[in-house]
Amino acid sequence: MSRYEKLFEKLKDKNEGAFVPFAVLGHPTLEDSEKILDTYIESGADALEVGIPFSDPGADGPVIMTADRRALNNGANTPRCFEIVRKIRAKHPDTPIGMLMYINLVYRPGIENFFRMAAEAGVDSVLIADVPVEMFESDGLPWAKAAEENGIDLIFIAPPNASDDEVRKIARYSKGYIYLVSRTGVTGAGHEAGHPVARVVNMLKEMKAPPAMLGFGISQPEHVREAIKHGAAGAITGSALVKIIEENLDDKEKMLSLLREKVSSLKAATRSQA
């Protein structure tokens, strides 16, 4: 049983949703990054979502884009990011860790090599933001083989405008969980999430797809409650947390205490289902 399967089973027994915070690895610095991930877990995060910063993050809004730039300027690179993940894995053996990646950082080191490095660091899943199911199926690159051989779940995004055919493929190819998005645009808290699209949620349930978690625009506890109320198994928050980091670069204690507060309140919202 994978860490995700165990997690969702446990949450089901407790009648809770999942809360998953996102962080840019190496942001704001390599040292702080590890402390931030520890803080997320200590504050109730059910799983972690992490990304290696990229020079050209085309699916991200200004908050994550700035964080990526800052992390790269402060020395983040692929091996150093995996080193952070390895340390987190050693301290938290049961917490699922997912990676949110851009394709060039997976392709360039060699796809099989990348997945091997990820597995060695203790990563559970990889979502590549710019590999749609159409490319996954037809480009002849060894995505499925590399993931399977290294025991890593591939995750796909289910956007609100996906055709029925696409939803079926997303359900079929995703393991671990499905990343549900309810609105158009890029990541960021400035543009709030809508309700999960009922058509997509229902199709995924009918197909017995892995649990769907809603991301993009989740910044407040009520967003988490709404997501779960409308059929999501949990919610993912990125920009709202990264913004707290950005606003408190000069006071690390305050940064960690505000993150603790925020993650706790977002996690609490997964428990308060009437």
Partner 1 sequence: MSILNPFFGKFGGQYVPQLLIPVLDQLEQAFVEARDDPSFQQELSTLLSEYVGRPTPITKCQNLTKGTKTTIYLKREDLLHGGAHKTNQVIAQALLARRMGKTRVIAETGAGQHGVATAIACALFGFKCRIYMGKTDVERQKPNVVRMRLMGAEVVPVTTGVGTLKEACNEALKDWAENFETTHYMLGTAAGPHPFPVLVKHFQKIIGEEAKQQILKAEGRLPDAIIACVGGGSNAIGLFTDFIKEKDVKIYGVEPGGLGVETGKHGAPLGHGTEGIFFGAHSYNMQDDYGQINESHSISAGLDFPSVGPEHAYLKDCGRVEYVNATDEEALAAFMDLSRHEGIIPALESSHALAHALRMARNNPEKEQLLLVNLSGRGDKDIFTVTKILEERGQL
Give CA–CA dist 133/174, Å, rounded. 10
Give CA–CA dist 164/161, Å, rounded. 9
Contacting partner 1 (CB under 8 A), which of 65, 99, 178, 255? Answer: 65
Q: Is 112 a catalytic residue?
A: no
Contacting partner 1 (CB under 8 A), which of 20, 23, 181, 218? Answer: 181
Sole window of 14-22, 30-38, 55-63, 222-230 interacting with partner 1 (rule: CB under 8 A): 55-63
| 71 belongs to the binding site for partner 1 (CB under 8 A) | no
Q: Which of 173, 143, 141, 168 is nearest to 155 (CA)?
A: 173
Do the Cβ atoms of 75 and 30 come closer than 8 Å? yes
Residue 63: φ, ψ to 5° = -65, -50
| 146 belongs to the binding site for partner 1 (CB under 8 A) | no
Give CA–CA dist 151/169, Å, rounded. 20
Sole window of 18-26, 183-191, 218-226, 231-239 interacting with partner 1 (rule: CB under 8 A): 183-191
What character string, x for contact with partner 1 (CB under 8 A) and - otherwise, covers 85-104?
------------------xx
**Helix, coil or strand: residue 23:** strand
Nearer to partner 1, 165 or 247 (CB): 165
In the beta sheet, which residues pair with residue 24?
Answer: 51
Q: Is 153 a catalytic residue?
A: no
Sole window of 30-38, 126-134, 198-206, 247-255 interacting with partner 1 (rule: CB under 8 A): 126-134
Q: Which of 192, 187, 271, 186 is nearest to 228 (CA)?
A: 271
Binding site for partner 1 (CB under 8 A): 54-59, 61, 65, 69, 72, 77-78, 103-109, 129-135, 139-140, 156-163, 165-166, 170, 181, 184-186, 191
